[in-house]
Amino acid sequence: MKHKKNKIIALDKFIKDSLYNKNDGYYMSKNPFGPKGDFITSPNISIFFSEMLAIWILSIWKKLNQPKKINIIDLGGGNGEMSFNILQTLNKFPSFKNSFNLFIHEKSEFLKKKQKIKIKDKKVLWINNLKKIKKGPCLFLANEFFDALPIKQYLRENGIWKERKVKFINNENIYFVDKKTNIGLLEKKVGFKFTKNQNFLEYSESTINYLKKISKIISKENGGLLIIDYGYFDKKMKNTLRGFANHKIVNILQYYKKCDITYSLSFNFLKKIAMNNDFNISGMTTQGSFLRKLGIVERAEIISKKLPFTQKANIFYRLEKLIGKKFMGDVFKVMLLTNNKTKFKTGF
């Protein structure tokens, strides 16, 4: 998409166009995952991550009294690694094997093709709309899903709220501009006041829309939404918007359509949105704590017991990436949202 000279657009529209433009959007035209891509996600670091999620799925299935049919929904399938490994693990349990369907909710046709090459299982279905999910309890897995959705940014200067927008001189000269806005209209739209004691806001309309839809499904069918993502627990929101290319942070304006665009979720704000949409907050913790409580260290020790030193070292190097405080262990947070009937604490 070519933008007219001096055109100003909202930040979320810029992000959407940069990432999801049908012709040349970042996610629509390349595979960004892995060492040869621009970033690495937990499922690509170690198979143990997906195995722990499979164990978690089995545990909550038992908590729900082992329903004969249950739906697992991978929100944003990435390169298919997570769903593939979850399937491999779940299919080893005869009592569960015939009980579940797995849905992959993927926007990118390019990535969908990659996923379909990797995953060959009749119980896997690809969907563009959550309405296509079958009846029955639903377990939504959102691993690095919400951080890839477009956001708006607002900042307060001298008591005046402004919305950050993007100005195109042309496709090579792009700048941020801040325009005065009525922040009360945003609070009214969200449904509660949240700007007090804040000087900066990151707000995703897409995230709120997804939470509303998922809340209605879980309220009716039961289940839960497990969110694993970059984030922080601080009450004060901050500017976390950034681009990734070749495993380095880059300027999203200079790398228009050529980088991943992400931000860190304010889990405190997310919690308020969830509660406003009738979710129950079943748990909130770090990725490191979550995976440890599910038994990832014990799993690594069992697998590596009879392996040569180099292979053993590689397993624990990858494990440290997932659970170490200096790596993804603390940087990533985990939240489980359920309805008010279901209380589930495994992993928290």
> In the sheet where 248-250 sits, what is the strand order?
248-250, 242-245, 260-262
Give the chain's largest Cα–Cα span. Answer: 64
CATH 3.40.50.12710 corresponds to the domain 7-338: yes
Task: Return the pLDDT at 108.
Answer: 87
- Please give the pLDDT value at position 2: 56
How, if at all, do strands 70-75 and 138-143 pair? parallel
**pLDDT for the residue 341:** 87
Q: What is the pTM of this model?
A: 0.94
Contact status, residue 112 vs residue 78, Cβ threshold 8 Å = no
Question: Quick one: 65 exposed, middle or buried, by C-beta within 10 A (0-12, 13-18, 19+)?
Answer: exposed
Structure tokens at 260: 């991943």
List the pLDDT tens digit at each of the 348 positions of the chain: 555 567 899 999 999 999 999 889 998 877 777 666 667 889 999 999 999 999 999 999 999 999 999 999 999 998 999 999 999 999 999 989 999 999 999 988 889 999 999 999 888 999 999 999 999 999 999 999 999 999 999 999 999 999 999 999 876 789 999 999 999 999 999 999 999 999 999 999 999 999 999 999 999 999 999 999 999 999 999 999 999 988 899 999 999 999 999 999 999 999 999 999 999 999 999 999 999 999 999 999 999 998 999 999 999 999 999 999 999 999 999 999 999 888 899 999
pLDDT value of residue 34:
65
Domain boundaries, given as residue ranges, for the chain: 7-338
pLDDT of residue 30: 72
Q: What is the 3-state secondary structure (H, E, C) of the chain?
A: CCCCCCEEEEHHHHHHHHHHCCCCCHHHHCCCECCCCCECCHHHHCHHHHHHHHHHHHHHHHHCCCCCCEEEEEECCCCCHHHHHHHHHHCCCHHHHCCEEEEEECCCHHHHHHHHHHCCCCCEEEECCHHHCCCCCEEEEEECCHHHCCCEEEEEECCEEEEEEEEEEECCEEEEEEEECCHHHHHHHHCCCCCCCCCEEEECHHHHHHHHHHHHHHHHHCEEEEEEEEEECCCCCCCCCEEEECCEEECCCCCCCCCEEECCEEHHHHHHHHHHCCCEEEEEEEHHHHHHHHCHHHHHHHHHCCCCHHHHHHHHHHHHHHHCCCCHHHHEEEEEEECCCCCCCCCC
Best CA proximity match to 187, nearest among 195, 197, 179: 195
Q: Which two tokens stand for residue 328?
A: 């993804």
Residue with tokens 């990659």: 114
Q: Dihedral through CA 22, CA 26, CA 27, CA 29, nearest 10?
A: 70
Distance CA 127, CA 133 (A): 8
